Chains A and B, each alone.
Chain A
Amino acid sequence: MSALTVNVGRPPLLTFTMPIVAVLGACFGFVTGNIFGQPGLGFVIGAVIGAVLAGVLAQIVQVRLWRKVWGTTAIFAVSGLVFGGVGGLIGGAVMGLSMGWFATWIGSGQYRAGVPIYYTAGQTLWHNVFLFICAFVFFFLIAPLIPVMWLSFNAQNFFTFTPEMLAFRAEGYSLKHYRDFFSGGGHPLQGLLYGAVIGAVIGGLVQLLPNAERSIRKIVVFAIIGTLIGVVVGKMWGVSGAEWMTPLKNSLIIAPFATLISVSLGTLAAIGLSQTHVPGRQAIMAIMISPMIVPLIISATGMFFFYAPLGNWLQANLGLNQNFVGYLKVILAHAALGVPFVIITVTATLVGFDQSLTRAAANMGANPVTTFFRVQMPLILPGVISGGLFAFITSFDEVVVVLFVGSAQQQTLPWQMFTGLREQISPTILAAATILVTISICLLTTVELLRRRSERLRGMSPG
């Protein structure tokens, strides 16, 4: 592809660049004019400004491309500030950025950089329109999350932007919704020290295992993980009746246990399924994948009918505590929902697994258990962890089943958000949402890193 693309020269200024930029300028002018009730006048002024901008930028040759863009942005922003205050500043900056970039992009002939030299004008136009469509879709995917984060710093109890927020005044912003979210519970620092010490001790004990690789790094890693867990446990210690901390605590109790069950059972089953001779593999696979395919509302309805009598039976016949049974029901239900994700990711990892490695290990005298933990496990671990993360997020994000199966004592974070969205609208939901977005960015990064590591380990891709 690159051999065919040649950096073409500048297009003609008067017959190409200036009219096109003028059209964009006219559009912006129309919109700006509309604010003041003069769309026609704005249209004309915008077109003139666009044409002039294109002409001026084309004359400045020795300045680098992006400098021109930033310069235009600054000029537009300042004039916006003069005419329309802070709102004008932002509007001007956006307009200046887009027009400056567009003018230089068109004017310098960069718009042809991505297409083969033999493309006609129409094909080039289509290529660029296509890129704009894709950019729009990416914008559509990401942009809705931005107002949520912005609004979560609202100083008022509104779900909408206040004039103070739009004018970027400090009194319009506050962290009070985050304070509301984190109110109740113990102090995270209490748990920090315990967590670090316990983590380091476990890290040290791991060194004593026979055949373990000994290094100080392991102790540090365990201590860091211990600290993180300690902070969370310290915060959650003794939480009860808090509006947001109690649901978060429930989520943090339910999700790890559900993940543990689905990962341990799922990994074993995936290894079993990847053997050469499995009678009824298709049927077994269909049963295990079914929790993912059956719509949640149906799973939840079925579980509602089955788990309520099951819970009563457990309470009556095994004498179990009502609260414990409540958690158990939700954990079992979530574990079932997480199973397909573990099966899919681990099976996918096992596809690239070289079975002769296990035979080699057996040949050198390792028993099946040793082979599993020392040979197979390290290689499929990335798949197991990302399957576990999928299972975790499934449970952590799940509302319908908890709503049907759980009781008020098991109210989870998504449940609280759901009732909040449906009944009383408080921006604390947005603070919770922002925190969840942050968590999901962390999880996404982990999964991506693991996926690449797994592919590298299996030699499937060079990078």
Chain B
Amino acid sequence: MSDSTDTGPVLAADGSPLKQSLARALRREKMRALALIAPLLFFVVLTFIIPILSMLFRSVENQIVSDTMPGTVAAIQDWDTGGGEAPDELVFQHLFIDLFNASEAKEHTKLGTRLNYEQTGLSSLFRTSGRRLDDIGETFQDPLEEIDPAFEEADFWYSMMNGEGGEGLLEERRDMWNAQVGGGMDGDVGFVPSQSMIDLLPWTTTAYTDWAIWAAIEDEDVVAEEEPWEAVYGALGIDLRNPETVAAIADYDGPGAEQLQAAVANMDQLPQTSFREAFAEMDEDWLDPEVWDTIAVYSPRFTSGYFLTAVDMKLSAEGVTAQPEDRQLYIKLFNRTLFMSLVITGSCILLGYPVAWLLANLPLRTANVLMILVLLPFWTSLLVRTSAWKVLLQQQGVINEILVWLGFVDDANRLILMNNQTGTIIAMTHILLPFMILPLYSVMKTIDPSYLRAAKSLGATNIVAFWRVYFPQSVPGIGAGSILVFILSIGYYITPEIVGGTDGVFISNRIAYHISSSLNWGLAAALGSILLVVVLVLYWLYDRIVGIDNVKLGG
């Protein structure tokens, strides 16, 4: 002993200090444990945690508006939201280009559907307008081609637009397409806009670049051999209305100068109506300031709109307001979900407590046999039990038939037990009862029966002994069972869907409806996120009360 203190630190067998050696062994053990855990952790994170996070992301994500209409969204920032006036010409010019591209890519209907969640009617507005944008382009194309047939030729356009120095614009517009159609627009376009044209005819060059990328990559055509689409003529019309551009064209002497100057000289042949009027002619809703309020409010890349809808609020030009009375339904649904879950939890406690007590106090052999009666429904398919309740509860079902046969219920006034809250509560109490009995049983099993006897021998009556001695010890079991049942029931979908009708459905049925029928995925994600927060809080409570390690299955 004294030897080692004299000669310095204690050494391990290999000569290194013991402390270091122990630390190394500990580290190795930790690494081994982590190496065993790592594959599953990776698996669960990939297949479960990331999907949940992607749901949270979906609930605020709103990129479709700015991806589909980048120019319009940028231009609308200067517009006075809620001012009661539709925006000015510039916004409509951008709208023309953006919506034209979107309708070529068939994305405008998606945008319309998205905005329709916020204001009814926008879906048809976008759909019909998308079809008729070609006409606006043609009102420019036809006179231009009459002024000079060269405007019809692919060569003419290509030689005028192609050049060098415009790589920045090309990549910028490629990104626009990628954002719009979700990628896949990479590759050689065979065209680079020339810098001089960008300076001279900014709108036209941009529109031509859009077309060139689409034609080369999506349609797999050669840019130099195809006539551009109508939007390019429309864009030229926009450019020609700018006096500065007109002045610059007079000094221009590059390819196509002659034709451009001819177009300037015959300006009176081009349509004189503004784009604002052209859009209004297509559908006068375009001049409705409310439409533009909606677009402006939902133009940011992330929005709280879905969450606000999920709590019956609305994001509008005036800020956050309550939904109109007839569209308020989510708060009611959340309240109903919570209320019914509480009722189900309560009835599970009422039915489960006596049974758990009986099981915990019977001799082990008898308890094991009776336990099978609890475990059999637990192991039986959820759908089997749900269909059983459908058989029992329907109007011509077993319960009604027996009551009618016994003469307690008139044949004409059979009880309505299904497709309402009663049905959901009865069926779900039955389905979730084992989840209450099992934790209660495992807690009651640990309560020493001699406490009760001691209380009684000290003069307590049965009721006092139960209430003051036994019950407090069984509270952790009630807590564990209640939280388990409550968590399970607020997320239930199948049973309410089948026996709940319209009155007995939960928030989860609404989520499923938005996922599969109305396709309002953002709202579904927001509703799911709210539910998730509620569940996580309860989960945290459960962990505090029972500890997550103490979850037991099947006794």
Among the listed B48, B382, B394, B430, which residue makes an inter-chain contact with A290, where contact means beta carbons less than 8 Å apart? B48
Asked if B44 and A293 make an inter-chain contact with CB atoms under 8 angstroms apart, the answer reads no
Among the listed B33, B394, B462, which residue makes an inter-chain contact with A273, where contact means beta carbons less than 8 Å apart? B33
Hey, which chain B residues are within 8 Å of A279, CB to CB? 30, 34
Among the listed B37, B44, B549, which residue makes an inter-chain contact with A272, where contact means beta carbons less than 8 Å apart? B37
Asked if B407 and A339 make an inter-chain contact with CB atoms under 8 angstroms apart, the answer reads no
Pair count A-B, CB < 8 A: 284
A142-164 interface code vs B (CB 8 A; 1 in, 0 out): 10110110010000000111000
How distant is B392 from chain A, measured CB to nearest CB, in Å?
A: 6
Q: How far is the CA of A429 from the CA of B365 in the complex (A)?
A: 36
A396-408 interface code vs B (CB 8 A; 1 in, 0 out): 1101100110000
**Of residues 332 to 377 in A, which have CB atoms within 8 Å of B's CB atoms?**
332-333, 335-336, 339, 341, 343-345, 347-348
Asked if A289 and B551 make an inter-chain contact with CB atoms under 8 angstroms apart, the answer reads yes
State which of A48-56, A65-73, A197-205, A416-424 sits at the interface with chain B: A416-424
Answer whether residue B405 sits at the interface, using C-beta atoms and an 8 A cutoff: yes
How distant is A433 from chain B, measured CB to nearest CB, in Å?
A: 4
How distant is B192 from chain A, measured CB to nearest CB, in Å?
A: 29
Q: How far is the CA of A286 from the CA of B542 in the complex (A)?
A: 12
B386-429 interface code vs A (CB 8 A; 1 in, 0 out): 11111110101110010001111000000000000000000000
Hey, which chain B residues are within 8 Å of A266, CB to CB? 40
State which of B109-117, B306-314, B527-535 sits at the interface with chain A: B527-535
**Of residues 262 to 284 in A, which have CB atoms within 8 Å of B's CB atoms?**
265-266, 268-269, 271-273, 275-279, 282, 284
Hey, which chain B residues are within 8 Å of A253, CB to CB? none
Asked if A344 and B553 make an inter-chain contact with CB atoms under 8 angstroms apart, the answer reads yes
B520-555 interface code vs A (CB 8 A; 1 in, 0 out): 010011001001100100010011000011011111
Q: How far is the CA of A135 from the CA of B225 in the complex (A)?
A: 86
Interface of B is mostly: helix
Answer whether residue A297 sits at the interface, using C-beta atoms and an 8 A cutoff: yes
Answer whether residue A13 sits at the interface, using C-beta atoms and an 8 A cutoff: no
Asked if B51 and A302 make an inter-chain contact with CB atoms under 8 angstroms apart, the answer reads yes
Answer whether residue B11 sits at the interface, using C-beta atoms and an 8 A cutoff: no
How distant is B38 from chain A, measured CB to nearest CB, in Å?
A: 8
Asked if B41 and A288 make an inter-chain contact with CB atoms under 8 angstroms apart, the answer reads yes
Q: Known contacts A266-B40, A302-B51; decide if A286 and B381 are in contact (CB<8 Å).
A: no
Chain A: interface residue total (CB-CB under 8 A): 98
Q: Known contacts A141-B430, A417-B383, A451-B554; decide if A299 and B398 are in contact (CB<8 Å).
A: no
Hey, which chain A residues are within 8 Å of B386, CB to CB? 421
Chain B: interface residue total (CB-CB under 8 A): 97
Asked if B388 and A278 make an inter-chain contact with CB atoms under 8 angstroms apart, the answer reads no
Which A-chain residue is minimally distant from B27 (CB atoms)?
Answer: A277
Which A-chain residue is minimally distant from B184 (CB atoms)?
Answer: A316
A291-306 interface code vs B (CB 8 A; 1 in, 0 out): 1011111110111111
**Of residues 352 to 407 in B, which have CB atoms within 8 Å of A's CB atoms?**
352, 354-355, 358, 364-365, 370, 372-377, 379-392, 394, 396-398, 401, 405-407
How distant is A400 from chain B, measured CB to nearest CB, in Å?
A: 5
Q: Known contacts A145-B380, A305-B51, A305-B58; decide if A297 and B487 are in contact (CB<8 Å).
A: no
Answer whether residue A175 sits at the interface, using C-beta atoms and an 8 A cutoff: no
Answer whether residue B47 sits at the interface, using C-beta atoms and an 8 A cutoff: yes
Hey, which chain B residues are within 8 Å of A441, CB to CB? 376, 379
Asked if B384 and A145 make an inter-chain contact with CB atoms under 8 angstroms apart, the answer reads yes
Q: How far is the CA of A301 from the CA of B401 in the complex (A)?
A: 40
A294-B491, A306-B51, A414-B382 known, 4 other contacts, Cβ within 8 Å: A290-B49, A295-B492, A386-B554, A393-B379
A-B contact pairs, 15 of them (CB 8 A): A137-B354, A140-B430, A141-B430, A159-B394, A160-B397, A261-B43, A285-B548, A285-B549, A294-B535, A297-B493, A301-B55, A302-B53, A397-B383, A399-B383, A436-B380
A residues engaging B (CB < 8 A)? 31, 34-35, 37, 87, 123, 126, 130-131, 133-134, 137-138, 140-142, 144-145, 147-148, 151, 159-161, 261, 265-266, 268-269, 271-273, 275-279, 282, 284-291, 293-299, 301-307, 332-333, 335-336, 339, 341, 343-345, 347-348, 386, 390, 393, 396-397, 399-400, 403-404, 414, 417-418, 421-422, 429-430, 433, 436-437, 440-441, 443-444, 447-448, 451, 463
